[in-house]
Structure formats: C-alpha cells, structure tokens
Amino acid sequence: MYFWKIDSLSQDLKNGSLPQSERFKYLLANVIVYAVIIELSTLFAEPIIALDIFQSIFIVAITVAGTIYCYVVNSHGDNQEFIDRFICIGWVVTVRVIVLFIVAFSLYLFIGYAVGGEEFERFSETTNFVSVGFVLGMCGVFYGLVGKHIKKVAY
C-alpha cells in the first residue's frame, strides 16, 4: 500500500496491476479515516457525556467490522469488483436505511411525545440509550444489507 508515491499508485492502476486485496486496503483506510473524523467532529458540538464517546467508538468499530464483513462475503464468492459493488449497493442501501430511519424515528418521537409529553422531551434532548441503540442498530442494518446484496451478486 502506497502512502506517498502517488505516481507509482497511478501507474499500478493504469496497468491493472493493483490486485483486489490491495484496492480493499485503500477503501478500508478511507472508511476508517472518514468515520473517525466524522465521529471526532460530533464530539465537539455540545457538552459530551460518556454515552457520546461510547456511541462514537462503536460507530467506528461497526464501520470497520462491517466493511471487512462485506469484503469477506465478496471474497468467498467470485472475489471480483468489491469496491464497485460496495459503493453501488451501499448507495441504494443508504437510501433505504435513511427512509427506514425517518419512519422509525418519527414513530418513536410520536409515541414518545404522546405517552411521555414534557418528560419525554427532556429525555430526548440529550444522548440516551435509546438513541444510541437506534443509531448503532441502523449502522448494523446497513452493513448487514450491503453484505446480503453483495452475496447475491458474488455467488
């Protein structure tokens, strides 16, 4: 894996001599850096509590583990075009997960306000175990669905 010599990397890509396993390393490195940067940036937005840190650590862990899981699923199949599959299938799954999130979270808010009123409002203003579970669950659903659909293509 190159860290600085972009000309050598460009040449390998041009010649088609960069194997799938090496390309995966670049994707995984990007995913890790992006996830860590995004999670670190959220920790500066408001007073943080231990639950915020817990959530951020687990989001990064699920992101890394989920990406590796999808790669392994693909490699046990035909081991072809992982990055293309991951990006394309991931896009459609993202759209679906966003819709699922909006519907589920709206339902949660509606029921919460209907049952709990002002108490629910105070509860929902800060990070809580329900919101953390919701976010982590959605991350898990995303990688599970991407892996499922990569498997359909790779086998």
**pLDDT at site 127:** 80
**pLDDT at site 87:** 94
**pLDDT at site 133:** 93
Q: What is the pLDDT along the chain (155 residues), one digit of tens a residue?
A: 888 888 888 888 888 898 989 999 999 999 999 899 888 877 776 777 888 889 999 999 999 999 999 999 999 999 999 999 999 999 999 999 999 999 999 999 999 999 998 898 888 888 889 889 999 999 999 999 999 999 999 99
pTM for this predicted structure: 0.83
**pLDDT at site 90:** 93
**pLDDT at site 3:** 84
Query: How many Å apart are CA 76 and CA 16, to the nearest integer?
Result: 22
**pLDDT at site 45:** 67
Tell me the CA distances in angstroms from 97 to 88, 102, 134, 140, 145, one per residue in order: 14, 9, 12, 10, 9
Domain ranges in the chain?
20-154
**pLDDT at site 6:** 84
